[in-house]
Amino acid sequence: MVYSSERGGRGGGARGGFRGGRGGAPGPSRGGGVSKRGGFGGDRGGFGSDRGGFSGRGGGRGGGRGGPGGRGGARGGRGSARGGRGGAKGGAKGGARVVVEPHRHEGVFVARGKEDLLVTKNLVPGETVYGEKRISVEGPDGLKTEYRVWNPFRSKLAAGILGGVDHVHISPGKKVLYLGAASGTTVSHVADIVGPEGIVYAVEFSHRSGRDLINMAKKRTNVIPIIEDARHPHKYRMLVGMVDVIFADVAQPDQARIITLNAHNFLKNNGHIVISIKANCIDSTVDAATVFAREVKKLQEERIKPQEQLTLEPYERDHALVVGKYVRAK
């Protein structure tokens, strides 16, 4: 059964016949052209062509979906000016367009471009740890320096820095004990900050996360991975020297006890602690502010003097970062 060829707007060709349909014969087609929607000749999608079949979904309808170049063209298709798929990875990588300035926290930098990003200087150029973006900037001497973008949604320390914490006490050359290292996302940035002169002792209990941590430490030689329970610091006392800072992100109900045990064993007099407290992990029956106050009180009882406290909104809900100073007993 063959339909009449006067089907109208959509193209006019006999819809049955040789499937000229939707654009076969030169009737007043919807997109104003003679293109065939299907066949290989249809215009439907070269990477910068008009979106197609009907000559760009656009002829009479308003100039195509992306202005002059349909889905690709001037808008940046796959890899052109806008960055599309793989062009400039979202505009982060761009020699002259990005200016990297030192942050007020030593060892941390800000990349100013289309958007401002928190970055650290890559200790192992060319390598990423968790698929983060990298930015290469050419200095006045022609040498390229590579930086890694530090995502505050994946790192409590980055969230605290962007939230305006006054001091993190982690800077080039420092020795850091990191409790709750997980896969090494934040640890890798701490390793970038302390540099080759510093050391990061990274303690993680989970063997699965520990595998990723060990693989990361193969490249970043200033990281010493320790797959052990932070509740038992005596088990790794032979590996860890005295440290300047303890950073803890352990999310356990007895978090304060874990931190103070490690402080008594490894933290220098007048050293500092930086703790990420997750209220729900400690007590989900009371509000977050009450949990934070209780934890700070526990720290004070163990000779840790709190200096700062801030919440990690908008990056984390019901989290606080607490910075304190440890004073050893006389």
- Reduce the DSSP state of residue 35 to 3 states and report it: coil
Instruction: pLDDT band for 317, please (50, 70, 90 cuts).
Output: very high
| pLDDT for residue 184 is more than 90 | yes
Residue 16 near residue 2, CB atoms below 8 Å: yes
Q: Which comes out higher in pLDDT, residue 46 or 151?
A: 151
Cα–Cα dist 64/54, whole Å: 10
* 179 burial via Cβ count (<10 Å: 0-12, 13-18, 19+): buried
Please report how the helices 207-219 and 185-194 are oriented relative to each other, as an axis angle in degrees rounded to 10: 30
Instruction: Give the predicted TM-score (pTM) of the model.
Output: 0.71
In the prediction, which pLDDT does 179 show? Answer: 98
Buried b (16+ CB within 10 A) or exposed e, 244-280: bbbbbbbbbeebbebbbbbbeebbeeebbbbbbbbbe
- Reduce the DSSP state of residue 284 to 3 states and report it: coil
| pLDDT for residue 180 is more than 90 | yes
| C-alpha closest to that of 217 among 103, 123, 121, 300 | 123
In the prediction, which pLDDT does 183 show? Answer: 95
In the prediction, which pLDDT does 140 show? Answer: 86
Domain 95-149 sits in CATH at: 3.30.200.20
In the prediction, which pLDDT does 2 show? Answer: 44
Q: Which comes out higher in pLDDT, residue 173 or 63?
A: 173
User: Percentage of residues in the chain with pLDDT exceeding 70?
Assistant: 71
In whole angstroms, how far apart are CA 16 and each of 5, 22, 32, 49, 53?
Answer: 9, 11, 21, 28, 18
In the prediction, which pLDDT does 324 show? Answer: 98
Instruction: pLDDT band for 142, please (50, 70, 90 cuts).
Output: confident
Residue 26 CB: number of other CB atoms within 10 A?
11
Token pair listed for 63: 């100039």
In the prediction, which pLDDT does 55 show? Answer: 39
Average pLDDT across the chain, whole number: 80
Token pair listed for 330: 């006389």
Residue 109 near residue 147, CB atoms below 8 Å: yes
- CATH 3.40.50.150 spans which residues of the chain? 156-326
In the prediction, which pLDDT does 238 show? Answer: 96
DSSP assignment of 143-195 equals -EEEEEE--TTS-HHHHHHHHT-S-----TT-EEEEES-TTSHHHHHHHHHHT
Report whether CATH 3.40.50.300 matches the domain 156-326.
no
Cα–Cα dist 32/35, whole Å: 9
Across the range 299-310, mean pLDDT stands at 96
The DSSP call for residue 285 is: T
pLDDT digits (tens, 9 = 90+) for 82-101: 333 333 344 455 445 889 99
- CATH 3.30.200.20 spans which residues of the chain? 95-149
| pLDDT for residue 1 is more than 50 | no
pLDDT digits (tens, 9 = 90+) for 212-264: 999 999 999 999 999 999 999 999 999 999 999 999 999 999 999 999 999 99
In the prediction, which pLDDT does 97 show? Answer: 80
| pLDDT for residue 137 is more than 80 | yes
pLDDT digits (tens, 9 = 90+) for 9-44: 444 443 444 444 444 444 444 444 444 444 444 444
In the prediction, which pLDDT does 11 show? Answer: 41
Across the range 126-147, mean pLDDT stands at 93
In the prediction, which pLDDT does 139 show? Answer: 85
